[in-house]
């Protein structure tokens, strides 16, 4: 039955081009190696197609998936602002944004003052929610299916979940979660072997190096404005 299902990666849904410069390409290749271990572990995990996953980390992904389906089913009625409001509390509870923003800014994080850190954290969070609100906007029979979960080491889990489209194409989502203060949170998503964390880190650090904090912050705000103005036909 699975033989007729086609796997189609959609990098554009989760990892859009952002402030990309030619200099970042080689850095991107180097940074991708950081996530190879996690990707291989997730791929080699025992398949659990159609079965409920058991870990608390998997519960986080189930919660996120449910919200994304609701966003698609009610997308036209809600519009972008409504989808954003629907997804905002869920995404904030599922992602460890303080951890992520420190990683994607690297050494530049320590050079920022407290106000800059708060501003960048807020704008990165808003940008992430806006991406989901814009991408998951229409329902055409899609549904999520649990695939596998892996414990890499204590406090680190990998969860794979597929989005099955109406035409049976599969969109693969591979999540890396860390346990912090008793709660599991997403810190990275890999699609087709490419890490969002690594990609954003390469791009963000290049902008911070070449143009500084203000340019990165302004770029995030502009991306949010662009996303909020797009409504798919």
Instruction: Give the separation between CA 127 and CA 70, rounded to whole angstroms.
Output: 20
Question: Model-level pTM?
Answer: 0.79
Contact 96, 193 (CB under 8 A): no
Q: Please report, for the chain, the start and end positions of each structural domain, with discontinuous segments joined by +.
A: 23-225
Residue 47 pLDDT > 80, yes or no? no
- Percent pLDDT > 90 in the chain is 61
For residue 171, the SS3 value is strand
Question: What pLDDT does 54 receive?
Answer: 60
Looking at residue 212, its pLDDT comes to 96
| pLDDT at position 30 over 80 | no
CB-based contact 165:141 (threshold 8 Å): yes
Tell me the residue length of the chain.
Answer: 233
CB 177 within 8 A of CB 60: yes
- pLDDT score recorded for residue 98: 97
Condensed to tens digits (0 to 9), the pLDDT of residues 49-101 reads 444 556 799 999 999 999 999 999 999 999 999 999 999 999 999 999 999 99
What sign does the dihedral 115-17-98-227 (CA atoms) show?
positive
Task: Give me the pLDDT at residue 32, please.
Answer: 47
Distance CA 220, CA 223 (A): 5
Residue 190: per-residue pLDDT:
85
Fold of 23-225: Nuclear Transport Factor 2; Chain: A, (3.10.450)
What is the chain's percent helix, strand, coil content, to nearest 5? Answer: 55, 20, 25
pLDDT 10s digits, 87-142: 999 999 999 999 999 999 999 999 999 999 999 999 999 999 999 999 999 999 99
pLDDT tops 50 at residue 181: yes
pLDDT band, very low/low/confident/very high, at 191 (cuts 50, 70, 90): confident
Q: Is the per-residue pLDDT at 224 higher than 90?
A: yes
Angstrom distances, CA of residue 159 to CA of 60, 72, 162, 182, 203: 10, 22, 10, 18, 26
Query: Looking at residue 153, what is its pLDDT?
Result: 85
- Tens digits of per-residue pLDDT, 12-28? 344 444 444 444 444 44
């Amino acid at each position: 039955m699975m033989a007729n299902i086609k796997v189609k990666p959609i990098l554009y849904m989760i990892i859009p081009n952002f402030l990309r410069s030619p200099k970042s390409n080689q850095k991107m290749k180097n940074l991708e190696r950081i996530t190879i271990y996690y990707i291989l572990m997730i791929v080699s995990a025992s398949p659990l197609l159609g079965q409920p996953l058991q870990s608390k980390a998997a519960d986080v992904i189930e919660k996120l998936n449910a919200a994304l389906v609701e966003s698609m089913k009610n997308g036209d009625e809600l519009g972008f602002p409504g989808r954003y409001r629907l997804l905002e509390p869920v995404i904030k509870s599922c992602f460890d944004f303080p951890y992520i923003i420190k990683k994607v800014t690297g050494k530049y994080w320590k050079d920022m003052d407290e106000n800059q850190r708060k501003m960048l954290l807020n704008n990165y969070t808003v940008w992430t929610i806006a991406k989901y609100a814009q991408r998951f906007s229409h329902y055409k029979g899609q549904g999520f299916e649990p695939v596998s979960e892996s414990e890499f080491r204590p406090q680190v889990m990998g969860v794979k979940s597929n989005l099955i489209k109406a035409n049976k194409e599969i969109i693969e989502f591979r999540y890396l979660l860390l346990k912090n203060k008793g709660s599991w949170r997403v810190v990275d998503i890999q699609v087709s072997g490419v890490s969002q964390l690594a990609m954003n880190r390469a791009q963000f650090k290049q902008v911070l190096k070449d143009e500084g904090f203000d340019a990165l912050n302004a770029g995030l705000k502009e991306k949010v404005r662009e996303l909020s103005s797009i409504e798919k036909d």
